[in-house]
Structures are given as C-alpha cells and as structure tokens.
Structure 1
C-alpha cells in the first residue's frame, strides 16, 4: 500500500509559509500596518470629536472691546457658554496677534458710537474679528448665531413698539427636515477612510510575494525548484497561497481592530454612528478573501520578471498605486453608489463596507460582484505567472 503524499502545491505552500514566519522583518511590517490604519482613523475621528465638544466643555473664549455699551448682549453671550474677556481698545495689529496666538476664538469690537446709535434706533456697528486659518470655525458660528438672535429680538421689539407685527418681516417660513440617519452621515464622511482598511492587503502580501519569486531568483534557489519533478502551476499556486494567507490574516485582524475602534468612539457627539454589526463584519471578511488573493497574485506576476529583490519591490510598490486611485478619487467626486463600482477591486470592498455602514439592506449581488471581481483578476495574474515561468526565455534567464 502506497503512503499518502501531499499535493505538491501544498508542499510548496507550507515551505513558503514557514520561511515567511521566520522572516522577522516581514512580521514586523505586518504588525505595523495592522495597527497603523485603525489607530490612524481612530485618532482622526477622536480629534474631530474633541474639537466639536471642546466648546461645550470649556466654553468659547471671546475678547470684547467696549463691552460696557451692551450689557444685555453680554448677558446673552454668557448664557450660551461664551467666556467674555473685556479689553481696552486694540489696534488691528494687536487683534491679529491675539487671534493668531489662539488666546481667543474671536474678538468683538463695539464702535464708540454703539450706545448712541442703539438708542437713536440707527444701525449700531459691531465688528467680529476671527482667524479662518485656525480650527475655531464652529465657535465663531456659535457667536454669530447669538448676535443674529440678539439683532432679531431687538428688531421684533421695535416693530411691536410701533404697532407692527414682527411676522411682517417673515413672509415665508421654511422648515427643514433631514431624513439622513447618523449612520449614513458617518459613512459619507469617512467614506475615503473606509478604503484605507483594505489597502494594507497589498502591503501584507508584498514581502512574501517578492521574496518567494525575485528573492529566490536572486539567491539562485529558483533553479532548484524548477528542476524538481513538479508542474509549474504547483509552484505558482503554492507561492500564491502562502502570500495570500499572510495578507488574509493581517486584513482580518486589521478589520476587527478598526471595527472595535469605531464602536468604541463616541461618534454620536458629532452626529454620526457606526452601525456595522459583528455579523456584518464576518460577511465583509468572507467577501474580502478574494482581495488578498488578488494582491498576492498581482505582486507575484510583477516580481517574477525582476532579477533582484529590490527591483521587484520597487516595481510592485509602484503598481499598488493603481488600485488605490479609484478608492481616493471616487469619494472625492461624491458619486452615488452604482453597480459598476462593485466590479473594481478594492473600490468594490470600500463601496460594500460603506453601504453596510449606512445600515441599508444590501442584496446578494454586490457581495458576489465584490468577491468575483477580485478573484477573476487574481486568476488572470496567476495564469500570466504560470505562462511566464513555462517560457524558455524565463528559464534561460534564471
């Protein structure tokens, strides 16, 4: 009875995987990208949350010149959590220096004739100084809202004193209703960030893919493999699956970390939420299996022609930019979700995750197209690599 032997591609797969796990540089790179993207996205969103809630927690710092002329206005500002600092008359240079130093969100200067103009029912001038280059835009808008409400109150009181209804100045009344959910807003705002979760799949597969092809060719160990009684497709498949396995593990761990970070962040503070469930994440991970397969196949197909490890790494690194372009450009164009987006690898995964994050029902077709588009591209790259390794020109160059 003949002993059972493993298929040759599994032997190659185990050999390449063993060598990859021994490479501390590759494992260190894997760990860096697993941690980097979730922490980077979490840090950006956390900073936005802190900026949005800073005015509620700490108040808005406002420097007022001539505050004694408008005590009612000062009282209304204080009611809106505005911390008023009274100051003596300042020149334009002094105001600019004060704002650039971010010692105050804005400077409110009342004209010397403010009180007399107010009592004589003439337009009383207020000057609101602010620096648009700082991150105090929301605080300045809150101050403007108070000033606008104060002006409307005065106008209404003066009209009533003359026997005119304030409604005369408001011939129409517009009521706004926002049907967008917090989940849809969050998915739209961080749409570009969602694509960043899948980009590392190409980085995870880069080192094992390049090392098992151009690296072995440079070390002259490719000759030994090609001299073995094994089909070329077994060699290619073993290397392909080994690089894909490393990328798949890294991608799944990264997605789980990103999901945990987004669940932990208080996104409701900025009117957003993350409604993706762990069940949805499992579906995304299953569909994303084809992405590491494509990443590894593409990089092997490019690295197989390189004679040195450095040359292959450079070529593959530049080629990785191509799938990233739609991920960056499409969200910037603010296009509505269309079926063709699920046919573009990497963009398809970004689009699918964005739709799931909105809490919308996604049919089976987007899942199938997302999985199939990357898988077909991967098989095409594997077929090219197999054809290339069979050619006499490649054999003579090894």
Structure 2
C-alpha cells in the first residue's frame, strides 16, 4: 500500500499536468531568461565585432591640411569622409543622425601652427548619447598615437631622444582569465536562471491550497482519515517536482546558449562543463522545495485563488532582492552569501564559472539554507492546517 503522502502527491501532480496554463507558464520561463541573456550577450558581441568588420565612419572637415593623419586613420580601418566647413548646428544634426561616429574638424590655422611647431588644434565632435563610445575611443587612440609620432620626430631633429617624453614606463599584466571576466560580467545575470523556480511552483502551489478552498474541496480533504503532514507533504512535493523539472530544463537551455555564443569575440568564455552543471542542478534541488514551501505557506491563508496568487507574487520578491542588490555592490565572495537562499545559488554558479576551486562547505550551505527555510514553511503550513477552526474561518 502506498504511503498517503505519495497518493496525494500523484493526485496533485496529475491535476497540474492537466492544467495547460501551468504548462504554458513552465515553457515560457524555461525559454525566456536564457533567450534574454543570450540576446543581450549576442548584441554586445555584434557591437564589438561590427567595428572590425565595417570600419569606423569619420567625417573630416579640412582633411587636406593633414594628409599624413588621414593616411594613418585609413590604416586603422577608419573610413574618412571629407566634408566642407559647416556650422555647429549642422555638425550636431549629422551626429544625431548616426551616419558617422564622430566629426573631426581641423581649424583654419592648423597648417600654419603645424609648420611653426605650435600646438595645432583638432576638434573632435561626438554625441555621447549614442552607442559609438567604443568607436570614438578608437579614433582618439589614433590621434594620440599620431601626436606622439610627431613629437618623437621633432625631438630627434633637435638631437633629443624621444624616450625623454616617457621617464616612466608602465607594463601592464592582466592575470584575469577569460572565464573570470565572463563570470564577473555575466554574474549579475546568473541570478535570473534561478528566479523562475518560484514562478514554476506558483500555479500548482496556489491551486492545491487556495484553489481547493475556493472550489470547496478543502473541507472534503480535511475530513479524510489522514495526517495533516501527509496532505501538506503531498502538495509540497507535487509543486516542488514541477519547479525542479522547470529549473533543470532552464539551466540546461541556458548552458547550451552560453556554450553556443562566441564569447571569445568580447574576451570572455563559458567554461562550465556539463558535469559542473549536473552538480549545480543537484545542489539546487532544495531551491524548488523552498519556493513551493513558501508559496504554500502564503496561499493557505487566502480564501481565493486570485488572492493567494497576488500575495505569493509580491512575497517572492523578497528573496529576489539580494540577487539584484548584492552584485551591484561589487562585494567579494564571502561565506555568508552561501546562507541566503537564491543568492547562494547565484554565487556558487559564478564561482564555478570563474574556474575557482570551491570546497564542500559552500555546496552544503547552499543546499542546507534553502532546505531549512523550506522545512520552516512546511512546519508553519502544517500547524495552520491542523486547526479546523482556522481553516474553516479563513
């Protein structure tokens, strides 16, 4: 004979699988966050590679005064378009149209100042409100290199070594790997992969509690010769199973998307293996348990399905807050982060993506913190359901 909580679990799971709305929500969140993150990163990759493929569009006023500079710009994949003198209003309109990344204007006195070895003024016009910041920086780098070349040639002409201009030489060594850079950049997005666990469990958790109360079937269920813990456990495991299935599918889709993207184009990589992902999924089993337990504990106090859904939707924003706020503070990874549900899963995934050696304690804390919170929620729900006066009076 099957244990009673298994009978309740199978009954609730069958009803959930018959609910097309719940299954549609499951499919939506399985695909939504991985596709969203993939789209954002794909756009960054496109922007980074577009400059190298298409070149940088630069409009130059008075280009004939500096033929050497124009040649150097063209060597650096800058497409120079000569233009006649124009007022400031027209330059502003040209930049707003985004037909050119910047406008370089050589003053009328440029040639005379250059020959007299006085500072020859170049005006670089750009619109910081557009997404051409990277292109403008590349143009400025060419102009800076051009100025250094002229200064070095003039010093040599006077018998002075150009090294005099650089009394200190700084050599930079970046020890960060592409995996650590990608984990730092994508770190704020990793929490999105675990948030849907709460949405996966929402519909079955609310329907099996407030939904049954609204349909007047809760009284019949409570009248059965069954322990309260068996009834609660069956509903809890059913909602948790749906959330776990959705979370595992979503993590697999997200991992596949990040593996497929050419992150190397922007100096990043995704080195998480399928074995690491399986370990993450195993540790994340407690998160759907917590999500389902929290939503059942909240829904048991509502009279209608709509009221319970509204209450649970607002309440689940509480564990989401640390996932958003903590990465913005740019804190170093600390042990307490593995004690906060949802934040612990995000932190663990980020550290594994960096290629860091993670000991057993973070895994245990990540699993145990969510499990403890889930058990507290289920204990509260069981205590509430044992009171027939409360259940009938809500």
Q: The TM-score by the shorter chain falls in which range?
A: over 0.9
Map of 1:247 onto structure 2:
243
Map of 2:318 onto structure 1:
322
CA-CA distance at 1:153 after TM superposition: 0.2
Map of 2:90 onto structure 1:
94
Once superposed, which parts of structure 1, at least 4 consecutive aligned residues long, lie more than 4 Å away?
Answer: none
SS for the counterpart of 2:370 is helix
Match of 1:216 among 198, 212, 220: 212
Map of 1:57 onto structure 2:
53
Q: Distance in 2 between matches of 1:396 and 1:170?
A: 84
Q: Distance in 1 between matches of 2:31 and 2:303?
A: 32
1:14 equivalent in alignment to 2:10: yes
CA-CA distance at 1:12 after TM superposition: 0.4
Q: Distance in 2 between matches of 1:111 and 1:396?
A: 85
Q: Distance in 1 between matches of 2:116 and 2:312?
A: 75
Q: Distance in 2 between matches of 1:74 and 1:379?
A: 71
1:161 equivalent in alignment to 2:157: yes
Match of 2:143 among 143, 147, 157: 147
Contact 2:56 2:79 (8 Å CA) reproduced = yes
Structure 1, unmatched stretches of 5+, are: none
Q: Alignment length, in residue pairs?
A: 394
1:285 equivalent in alignment to 2:281: yes
Q: Distance in 2 between matches of 1:391 and 1:266?
A: 58
SS for the counterpart of 1:190 is helix
Q: Distance in 2 between matches of 1:103 and 1:184?
A: 36
Q: How does 1:103-142 map to 2 (within 5 A)?
A: 103-142=99-138
Match of 2:228 among 224, 227, 232: 232
Match of 2:327 among 324, 331, 345: 331
Q: Distance in 2 between matches of 1:76 and 1:169?
A: 22
1:305 equivalent in alignment to 2:301: yes
Match of 2:81 among 47, 66, 85: 85
Match of 2:32 among 36, 45, 51: 36
Map of 1:173 onto structure 2:
169
Deviations along 1:52-105, whole A, 9 cap, x unmatched? 111001000000000000000000000000001110111111111111110000
Q: Distance in 2 between matches of 1:256 and 1:346?
A: 18
Q: Distance in 2 between matches of 1:395 and 1:304?
A: 8
CA-CA distance at 1:396 after TM superposition: 2.8
CA-CA distance at 1:162 after TM superposition: 0.6
Structure 2, unmatched stretches of 5+, are: none
1:346 equivalent in alignment to 2:325: no
Q: Distance in 1 between matches of 2:94 and 2:22?
A: 50
CA-CA distance at 1:393 after TM superposition: 3.2
CA-CA distance at 1:392 after TM superposition: 3.8
CA-CA distance at 1:250 after TM superposition: 0.3
CA-CA distance at 1:151 after TM superposition: 0.1
1:273 equivalent in alignment to 2:269: yes
Deviations along 1:198-226, whole A, 9 cap, x unmatched? 00000000000000000000110001100
CA-CA distance at 1:248 after TM superposition: 0.3
Q: Distance in 2 between matches of 1:80 and 1:396?
A: 77
Q: Distance in 2 between matches of 1:109 and 1:318?
A: 55
Q: Distance in 2 between matches of 1:13 and 1:210?
A: 15
Q: Distance in 2 between matches of 1:45 and 1:207?
A: 31
Deviations along 1:142-201, whole A, 9 cap, x unmatched? 000000000000000001101111111111111111111110011001111000000000
TM-score normalised to structure 2 length: 0.99
CA-CA distance at 1:395 after TM superposition: 3.1
Q: Distance in 2 between matches of 1:346 and 1:118?
A: 62
